[in-house]
Amino acid sequence: MLIRSRQSGHSAFLYLGGMALLAVFALVLVAYSVLAPSLLSAWRLDMTENQQYTLSKGSRSILADLPQDISLKLYFSENASKDLPQIRQYADDVWNVLQEMRQQSNGKLKLERIDPEPFSESEDDAVSIGLQAVPLASGEQLYFGLVAGNELDGLQVMPFLQPDKALFLEYDLAKMISGLANPEPLRVGWLSSLPAVPVSDPLTGQSAPGWEVYRQLEQLYEVLPLPMSANDLPENLDLLIVAAPRNLSPAMVFSIEQYVLAGGRLLLFLDPLAERLAPTADGSENVTGLEPLLVHWGIGFDATQIVADLEFALQVNLGPEQTPVRHIAILGVRESGMNQEDIVSADLEVINLSSTGYLYLLDNSKLEVSPILLSSLNAALLPVAQVAAVENPAELTRNFVASGETYVLASRYQGLVDALLSRPKDNASEVGDEAGEKPGQKGSLLARAVVPIQVIVFADSDLLDDRFWVQQQAFFQQTVSSAFADNGNLVVNAVDNLLGSEALISIRARQVTHRPFLRVEQMRFAAEQQLREKEQTLQQDLQQIESRLQTMQSPENSGQLTTAEQQAEIQRFMQQRLDTRKQLRQVQQSLNQDIRKLGTRLKVLNILLLPALVAVLSLLFFWWRRRPPSRK
């Protein structure tokens, strides 16, 4: 009896202790749900690879040094969005980022969240400010915009925050805040033959939207489009962009040289084959006018050669019923071809180029060079004429032999250089003795750069073209650009870097627009390397068979095909053609065989192996808990 009562008392004690622990746990849970939003709002655990949900060092640097107060007002229609969970979730994400920015701003950021209810004063404010009202199927209007202002009556507006651009949210917010904190706009000159500038003809009513990269630059800077016929640069330019120029006048080349020598920054896009420009009758499409200046600086560029690369070649579609093939002159440069130590290209993932040239340093150059983009070792040079005339990209792959060298596709140059050009005769009267002019101003010939020149050169201009990095999608009656490559990031990074804004670059470089399966790409490339020779042999055999069949079945030989042996020969050739085509199909199917095997292994790992491992561990834990106590 004594033993039983002791056991009963022990069980009751364990029961009461368990109930007490449950009560404490419930109390802690309630207290956490009530107090966590206010006490733990600054605590966050971000386990993503690129820390996508944590403010970058660049954002913290901008926020910590704000010289004046910035007000941010988020307008969001709470009731109208009740049936739009994706929009509501994104609104919460935006608000969380804004709150984290406020915590990092030392009290300089003032936040306010406003619900512009129908027929309210807040809705009137939203309309007057310029926020976009999106009509919903319910008949209501959805507002989701951001308004920012500074102490000097500066105002910036995001009319509608699009979930498709969530990856760029931190950069856009930091850029808005930085622009209000330093309201003086930076002036960027755009000198190009490419149809990148938006145009509108009020007489005909026709318009062209321009390219996305130009529109992005317009949102960030004061962009000044310059005509190719211009003879001089405008004053006080902070940066000059020259893209695929044609036959620049000597006066303009002189102005560009003086601008760079006086400390102006230059971003240059050359191209041996600019696909958006029609070839000229005299074959002068590659004459830029800058050739003597580049040679004097020691920058080499061969306008007659195109870099072909087997490893970075992209697949292109030839037609609805044809198998995609790799185009070795259209490249998707991945991380292995990017300089990860250069802030312009660090942390980007893929840059798409087309018919790109290459850069090299001449023997007389005194410049310091730092490559930004490089080809792989599986690359070689092809004549421009050969690439331009090809109809089937597979023809470029046949008989292709890699040189085993890497080619510089983009690079930065800096250093002191001497002046090459003298002022054209029509401006000779303006030559003086001053040597301290502002970049872009007329004046004297500078004998030597005042500061090391800062030039970034790309050997391709097609990377600016929308079709190589961005696609258009409809979203709430708007056209939204969705990037599938980092070309836009690369250009903006280069501009920001030349303008000295490294804090913003460190934010934008974190964004991920395309994450290729590198293991799959490596397997596909290895398989193609192994089977390419066999495919070429089969293609040659097939061409010979079809040629002999056409000869034997031609009208000239129709009267001679009377014997059974000749008929048998034709049948044999036709059967051989069918067998060859079958082998070609098998070769093409085998290209994906290893990829399918990899996919199967991943499925087995995810569907069977990992759950089985969890089950085994659970059984072992259950057995351990149920095992009899050891006797002493």
Question: Does the structure show a pLDDT above 50 at 384?
Answer: yes
Angle at 186 between CA 185 and CA 192, to 5 degrees: 130
Element (H, E) at 575: helix 564-590
Q: What are the backbone dihedrals phi and psi of residue 108, each rounded to the nearest 5 degrees, phi first? A: -80, -25
Question: Does the structure show a pLDDT above 90 at 436?
Answer: no
| Topology of domain 185-195+212-276+284-516, CATH | Rossmann fold (3.40.50)
Enumerate the domain spans of the chain.
57-179, 185-195+212-276+284-516, 520-554+564-591, 602-632
- H helices within 408-517, ranges in order? 487-498, 502-508
Average pLDDT over residues 4-20: 59
Tell me the per-residue pLDDT of 174-211, one tens digit each, with 9 for 90 and over: 988 988 887 777 899 999 999 999 887 666 667 788 89
Average pLDDT over residues 494-501: 86
**Residue whose tokens read 């192996």:** 609
Q: What are the backbone dihedrals phi and psi of residue 285, each rounded to the nearest 5 degrees, phi first? A: -65, -20
- Distance from C-alpha of 131 to C-alpha of 117, rounded to nearest angstrom: 14
The encoded tokens of residue 584 equal 């070609």
260: left (phi over 0), alpha (psi -120 to 50) or beta: alpha
Percent of the chain whose pLDDT exceeds 70: 68
CA 291 to chain centre: 30
Question: Does the structure show a pLDDT above 90 at 447?
Answer: no
Rounded-to-5 percentages of helix, strand, coil across the chain: 40, 20, 40
Average pLDDT over residues 319-328: 81
Output 582 or 382, whichever has higher pLDDT: 382
Burial zone of 277 (CB within 10 Å; 0-12 exposed, 13-18 middle, 19+ buried): middle
Cβ proximity of 437 and 444 under 8 Å: yes
pTM: 0.64
Question: Does the structure show a pLDDT above 90 at 327?
Answer: yes
Question: Does the structure show a pLDDT above 90 at 8?
Answer: no
What's the pLDDT at 178?
A: 85
What's the pLDDT at 576?
A: 72
Output 537 or 490, whichever has higher pLDDT: 490
- H helices within 425-517, ranges in order? 487-498, 502-508
CA 207 to chain centre: 26
Terminal Cα-to-Cα distance of the chain (whole angstroms)? 25
What's the pLDDT at 612?
A: 76
What's the pLDDT at 264?
A: 92
Cβ proximity of 591 and 524 under 8 Å: yes
Mean pLDDT, the chain, whole residue set: 80
C-alpha distance from residue 440 to each of 17, 220, 236, 430, 449 (Å): 82, 21, 6, 15, 14
Cβ proximity of 336 and 376 under 8 Å: yes
Question: Which residues make Cβ contacts (< 8 Å) with residue 325, sequence separation at least 6?
Answer: 315, 316, 318, 392, 393, 394, 397
Q: Which of 385, 464, 605, 482 is nearest to 167 (CA)?
A: 482
Burial zone of 631 (CB within 10 Å; 0-12 exposed, 13-18 middle, 19+ buried): exposed
Looking only at the bridges linking them, the beta strands covering 141-150 and 133-135 are: antiparallel
Output 182 or 239, whichever has higher pLDDT: 239
Could you tell me the pLDDT band of residue 434, with boundaries at 50, 70 and 90? very low
CA 462 to chain centre: 14
Output 579 or 360, whichever has higher pLDDT: 360
Output 32 or 62, whichever has higher pLDDT: 62
What's the pLDDT at 429?
A: 35
- Distance from C-alpha of 140 to C-alpha of 302, rounded to nearest angstrom: 59
Tell me the per-residue pLDDT of 74-126, one tens digit each, with 9 for 90 and over: 999 999 999 899 999 999 999 999 999 999 999 999 999 999 999 899 999 99
**Residue whose tokens read 């001497």:** 418
What's the pLDDT at 577?
A: 67
Looking only at the bridges linking them, the beta strands covering 141-150 and 155-158 are: antiparallel
Output 24 or 283, whichever has higher pLDDT: 24
The identity of residue 257, as a single letter, is E
Looking only at the bridges linking them, the beta strands covering 70-76 and 141-150 are: antiparallel
Burial zone of 49 (CB within 10 Å; 0-12 exposed, 13-18 middle, 19+ buried): exposed
Question: Does the structure show a pLDDT above 50 at 437?
Answer: no
Cβ proximity of 329 and 382 under 8 Å: yes
| Topology of domain 57-179, CATH | Glutaredoxin (3.40.30)
Cβ proximity of 276 and 193 under 8 Å: no
Output 446 or 330, whichever has higher pLDDT: 330
